[in-house]
Amino acid sequence: CSMVAAGCQTALRPTTDFDASVDFSKFQTFSWIDANPLIRRSGQRPPNPLVQQRLMASARSAFTARGLRFVDDPEQADLVLAFTVGSREGIQVTSYPSNWHRPPPGRRSSRYWNGYWNTSTVRTRQYTEGQLAIDILDVDGHRPVWHGTVSRRVTQSELGEPGPALEEAVQAIAAKFPPQG
């Protein structure tokens, strides 16, 4: 899984969920859930360690900018962070009329339907959609308190050089923390 975050075609629109009963103003420090905070599903290929390093550096910067202080020891932190990445292949099918003609006045033919001759063009395009999720857990409460995710189509250039797209995705998600309201 070399790149599964965002692309640069459109603005990222992260979604978040959080435990409304939690007072987020009490949290001051964060760490990683463990030494390897990039979580993977059973059967999934091992994550690219460079992607994990980029995510950790971006998240550390982003959440520090949001007012939290990073600590090395998860046991001494108020919150711990974990990442999940994924991608899926998709096919976009577009069909549109390509040739519409009005028959000459007074003329009808089997080629015409409701007065128009209709042909259509169908185009298909394969794409990769990537997703990044950041989960935040309350260390004292031993429970998840916040989840942010973003997904978007990934370009070929981003698959080859994922750093800037990962940074953009992390920044977009972190901008929604702490929750307002």
In whole numbers, what is the pLDDT of the chain averaged over residues? 80
Confirm if 54 and 163 have CB atoms less than 8 A apart.
Answer: yes
- Can you give the pLDDT at residue 8? 41
Is the peptide bond prior to 14 cis by the omega test (within 30 degrees of 0)? Answer: no
Q: What value does the mean pLDDT take over residues 159-164?
A: 75
- Can you give the pLDDT at residue 4? 42
**Is this model's pTM higher than 0.85 or not?**
no
